[in-house]
Amino acid sequence: EPEVTQTPSHQVTQMGQEVILRCVPISNHLYFYWYRQILGQKVEFLVSFYNNEISEKSEIFDDQFSVERPDGSNFTLKIRSTKLEDSAMYFCASNMDRSSYEQYFGPGTRLTVT
């Protein structure tokens, strides 16, 4: 069964450093998403991406965040200057089209900012 993959599974970085989280969505999917889950809290939407541009973003997704689909298969989330409060599990998701009821989630990348 096709699945969304994410790398790395765990990333440790120092405050102020840039990190790039990588995702490979399911190959025929067109809509891509990033979510985050701070430990013990709910899963929060960050951004959705379609046709090489952001289609929606949350208040959390400020100027330090950016997304890119550089090569038609990878979907990346960049955090320019990490803060302690960016420590969380980051989930990538994809779905085929707007009417599809299911978003397929990756296993997540645990980001720890020290």
C-beta of residue 5 within 8 angstroms of C-beta of residue 23: yes
Residues binding other proteins (CB under 8 A): 4, 31, 33, 35, 41-45, 48, 55-56, 91, 93, 98-108
C-beta of residue 89 within 8 angstroms of C-beta of residue 37: yes
CB of 62 to other proteins, least distance (A): 17
How far apart CA 80 and CA 25 sit, in angstroms, is 22
CB of 47 to other proteins, least distance (A): 9
CB of 111 to other proteins, least distance (A): 15
Cβ proximity to other proteins, 79 vs 106, nearer residue: 106
CB of 76 to other proteins, least distance (A): 18
How far apart CA 74 and CA 70 sit, in angstroms, is 7
How far apart CA 36 and CA 84 sit, in angstroms, is 14
Cβ proximity to other proteins, 9 vs 14, nearer residue: 9
Tokens matching residue 72: 């038609």
Cβ proximity to other proteins, 64 vs 100, nearer residue: 100
